[in-house]
């Protein structure tokens, strides 16, 4: 959930695996384990920069992602910050 929330907050921008790890306080390997299933179900997309650098963003065209964004927005309105 922490990784997904980070991607939602940074939607429409590509972010690095290391950037997600740094912003969430999770280890690089933990973020990597979470990213792979999200890629498999196409909630996020990957863009490679060079041979080794991978960047990620939400696939806002995916119907599942659209439901998640709606749910997150509705939930944010109900919960205090």
State how many domains the chain has.
1
Handedness of CA 78, 38, 52, 11 (dihedral sign): negative
Q: What is the pLDDT of residue 57?
A: 94
List all residues 6 or more positions away from 3 whose beta carbon is below 8 Å from its beta carbon: 20, 24, 26, 31, 34, 35, 38
Length of the chain: 81
**Rounded average pLDDT over 52-80:** 89
Check pLDDT > 70 for residue 64: yes
Say yes or no to pLDDT of 81 above 70. no
The answer to whether the CB of 20 falls within 8 A of the CB of 3 is yes
pLDDT for 31: 95
Q: What confidence tens digit (pLDDT) does each residue in 6-60 have?
A: 999 998 899 999 999 999 999 999 999 999 999 999 999 999 988 888 899 999 9
Domain of 9 in residue numbering reads as 2-78
pTM for the whole structure: 0.82
Domain CATH number, residue 14: 1.10.10.10
């Amino acid at each position: 959930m922490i990784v997904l929330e980070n991607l939602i907050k940074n939607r429409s921008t590509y972010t690095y695996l290391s950037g997600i790890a740094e912003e969430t306080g999770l280890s690089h390997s933990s973020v990597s384990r979470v990213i792979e299933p999200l890629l498999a179900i196409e909630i996020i997309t990957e863009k490679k920069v060079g041979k080794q650098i991978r960047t990620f963003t939400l696939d806002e065209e995916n119907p599942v992602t659209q439901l998640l964004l709606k749910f997150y927005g509705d939930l944010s309105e109900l919960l205090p910050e």
